[in-house]
């Protein structure tokens, strides 16, 4: 399966402002077949590096005023839904690899100390393994009400639990917190996820947050927001929570003017579909895709 993906982000800065951006596909993710490199208006130089979690990070300095950045590509995925392995076992803490231990403790948005008692009271009687993680997903999916109007950048997992609402990052944070309370390593992830293999969402959001858990000495994808295996995820970043992997982090004030992402299945039989960024070329620099 081929998926065309990309973004266009515009922001205003009152002064020259250093920034980092995490919007590149993960190095161990989908294979990229066509790619329109990072570009900006006005033109600016940038460099990339890999952070402590292995994510690609782009670094640049935005000038004062309006800056627009964009990139796009065509990626190849297997076209299969997220794997489901009901027999996957939990790994005892003493048998976990060292690198997994960081995903057992609290972090900026994953305040496990407030949720530990509830987690054990609620999920302690569920058989360990895949079924326990799925029970956590089922709970979070039913407990939280989704709505873009509920977005708040400072909301923690416990606050989402108490307020019973949020956006995809809040669903992921709460599920991650409950898993960690149960001594199951869990990490936050984000990336592109379009309406592929599901009914089209009248209010699409092609950039999403989900999470991964460590079972049977492997990482598996779970999604408390949608609570069903999905096709066509394009992973961008992983971390302990959203604080580790912001899409854009500015070292100074900025105002987000627009944020657009797109993720669409394309046909290799149509040469025009293999272009990484046909919309921008066809519309004189204006990207006419559905907004995130």
In-domain check, residue 47: yes
**Of 262, 243, 249, 78, nearest to 173 (Cα)?**
243
Give the up-direction half-sphere exposure of residue 50: CA atoms within 13 A in the CB hemisphere.
7
In-domain check, residue 43: yes
What pLDDT, in 10s, does the model give residues 102-144? 999 999 999 999 999 999 999 999 999 999 999 999 999 999 9
What pLDDT, in 10s, does the model give residues 74-99? 999 999 999 999 999 999 999 999 99
Examine the domain organization and report whether 23 and 100 are in the same domain. no
Examine the domain organization and report whether 277 and 165 are in the same domain. no
Rg (CA), the chain: 19
Q: What pLDDT, on the 0 to 100 scale, is given for residue 203?
A: 62
In-domain check, residue 196: yes
Q: What pLDDT, on the 0 to 100 scale, is given for residue 27?
A: 86
Q: What pLDDT, on the 0 to 100 scale, is given for residue 7?
A: 94
Examine the domain organization and report whether 9 and 116 are in the same domain. no
In-domain check, residue 86: no
Examine the domain organization and report whether 42 and 108 are in the same domain. no
In-domain check, residue 289: no
In-domain check, residue 171: yes
CATH number of the domain residue 123 falls in:
3.10.620.30
The rounded distance, in Å, linking the Cα atoms of 24 and 234 is 10
Examine the domain organization and report whether 102 and 202 are in the same domain. yes
Domain count, the chain: 2
Domain of 202 in residue numbering reads as 93-231
Q: What pLDDT, on the 0 to 100 scale, is given for residue 21?
A: 95
Q: What pLDDT, on the 0 to 100 scale, is given for residue 290?
A: 30
Examine the domain organization and report whether 171 and 277 are in the same domain. no
Give CA separation, 60 vs 37, 178, 251, in Å: 14, 36, 11
Q: What pLDDT, on the 0 to 100 scale, is given for residue 244?
A: 97
Examine the domain organization and report whether 131 and 71 are in the same domain. no
The rounded distance, in Å, linking the Cα atoms of 99 and 52 is 11
**Of 258, 190, 194, nearest to 24 (Cα)?**
190
Examine the domain organization and report whether 274 and 227 are in the same domain. no
Q: What pLDDT, on the 0 to 100 scale, is given for residue 277?
A: 59
- The pTM (predicted TM-score) of the whole model is 0.91
Examine the domain organization and report whether 213 and 101 are in the same domain. yes
Q: What pLDDT, on the 0 to 100 scale, is given for residue 291?
A: 29
In-domain check, residue 154: yes
Examine the domain organization and report whether 47 and 118 are in the same domain. no
Examine the domain organization and report whether 227 and 252 are in the same domain. no
To 10 degrees, the CA torsion angle through 30, 36, 41, 43?
Answer: 110
Examine the domain organization and report whether 207 and 263 are in the same domain. no
In-domain check, residue 241: no
CATH number of the domain residue 44 falls in:
2.60.40.2250
Parts of the chain with a pLDDT under 70: 202-205, 269-292
């Amino acid at each position: 399966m081929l998926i065309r993906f990309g973004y266009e982000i515009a922001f205003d800065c009152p002064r020259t402002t250093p920034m980092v951006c995490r919007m590149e596909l993960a190095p161990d993710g989908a294979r990229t077949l066509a790619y329109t490199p990072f570009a900006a208006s006005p033109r600016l130089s940038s460099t990339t590096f890999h952070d402590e979690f292995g994510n690609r990070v782009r670094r640049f300095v935005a000038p004062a005023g309006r800056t627009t950045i964009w990139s796009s590509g065509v990626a190849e995925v297997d076209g299969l839904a997220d794997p489901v392995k009901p027999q996957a076992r939990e790994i005892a803490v003493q048998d976990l690899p060292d690198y997994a231990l960081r995903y057992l403790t609290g972090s900026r948005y994953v305040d496990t100390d407030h949720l530990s008692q509830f987690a054990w009271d609620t999920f302690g009687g569920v058989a360990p393994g895949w079924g326990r993680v799925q029970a956590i997903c089922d709970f979070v999916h039913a407990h939280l009400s989704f709505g873009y109007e509920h977005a708040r950048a400072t909301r923690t997992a416990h606050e989402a639990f108490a307020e019973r609402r949020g956006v995809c990052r809040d669903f992921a944070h709460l599920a991650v917190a409950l898993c960690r309370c149960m001594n199951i390593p869990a990490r936050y992830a984000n990336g592109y996820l379009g309406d592929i293999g599901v009914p089209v969402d009248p209010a699409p959001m092609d950039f999403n947050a989900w999470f991964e858990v460590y079972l049977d000495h492997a990482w598996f994808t779970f999604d408390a927001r949608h609570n069903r295996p999905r096709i066509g995820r394009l992973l961008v970043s992983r971390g302990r929570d959203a604080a580790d992997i912001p899409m854009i982090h500015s070292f100074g004030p900025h105002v987000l003017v627009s944020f657009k992402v797109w993720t669409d299945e394309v046909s290799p039989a149509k040469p025009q579909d293999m272009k990484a960024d046909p919309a921008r070329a066809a519309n004189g620099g204006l990207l006419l895709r559905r907004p995130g």
